[in-house]
Amino acid sequence: MTQSHILQALIAENLVSDPDSARGRLLREAARLFRDKGYERTTVRDLAAAVGIQSGSLFHHFRTKEEILKAVMVETIRLNTALMQSAVDAAGSDREKLRALVRTELESINGQTGEAMAVLVFEWRSLSEGSQAEVLALRDIYERLWLDVLQSLQKDGVLNADPFIVRRMLTGALSWTVTWYKPERGGLTLDGLTDQIMAMMSL
């Protein structure tokens, strides 16, 4: 199961938009703009211009501006949950599973879906409370993947700290890479970065 196969499957189930469709292109441009300028500073006119239509025409596809933000977040979580699940399943030992989770999340944050992942972290408060609850429910599935592996590592005495806290630390640490990690500079690859994180935990 390659990454593109997972994406294809999700598109077929209508869980994420085809990147080549009008909707998919808009969501990608929206993620980029939201990350670069922030949700509030991005106007519907900016969004429309990015895909070459009039601002009013946006509301034929989405009822409100917020609905666009929510769609970016929901589709990103869906895709990344599937990618993580696949990565965990493919790994052998628990230590390898953790490495796969770290590596996959780094790739989500710093790769293709990076813009959308940054939006997920930094534009959270721009969602209405109702939408926050919806997105939160999706995140729970995603988080269970991590906790299962971390708890197993703790039981075996490999990990010395509380799994819940370790996961929260990793969430912050990995999210933050988006602000400084530039693969082209310094020659540090994603694999190298993953190694450093494992080494930091003496794992």
Binding site for DNA (CB under 7 A): 22, 42-45, 48, 52-57, 59-61, 63-66
Considering the complex, state which of residue 105 and residue 123 has its C-beta at the smaller distance from DNA.
123
Q: Which partner in DNA, a copy of itself, none is near 53 (CB below 5 to 8 A by kind)?
A: DNA
Sign of the CA dihedral running 59, 61, 66, 67: positive
Q: How many residues does the chain have?
A: 203
Under the binding rule (CB under 8 A), the answer on residue 156 touching a copy of itself is no
Q: How far is the CB of 197 from a copy of itself (least distance, A)?
A: 7
User: Hey, what amino acid is at 6?
Assistant: I
Torsion angle of alpha carbons 114, 116, 120, 125, nearest 10°?
A: 130
d(C-alpha 167, C-alpha 151), whole Å? 10
Site string for a copy of itself, 12-31 (x = CB under 8 A): --------------------
| Site string (33-52) toward a copy of itself, x via CB under 8 A | ----xx-xx-----------
Q: Identify the three-state secondary structure at position 173.
A: helix
Q: Which two tokens stand for residue 167?
A: 């996961």
CB of 18 vs a copy of itself, minimal distance in Å = 30
CB of 17 to a copy of itself, least distance (A): 26
Q: Of the candidates 37, 172, 55, which has an alpha carbon nearest to the alpha carbon of residue 115? A: 37
Q: Does 182 bind a copy of itself (CB under 8 A)?
A: no
Token pair of 126 as six digits: 């721009």
Q: Hey, how many other C-beta atoms are within 10 angstroms of the C-beta on 112?
A: 14
Of the two residues 7 and 124, which places its CB atom closer to a copy of itself in the complex? 124
Q: Which residues of the shown chain bind a copy of itself in the complex (CB under 8 A)?
A: 37-38, 40-41, 122, 125-126, 159-162, 165-166, 168-177, 180, 193, 196-197, 199-202
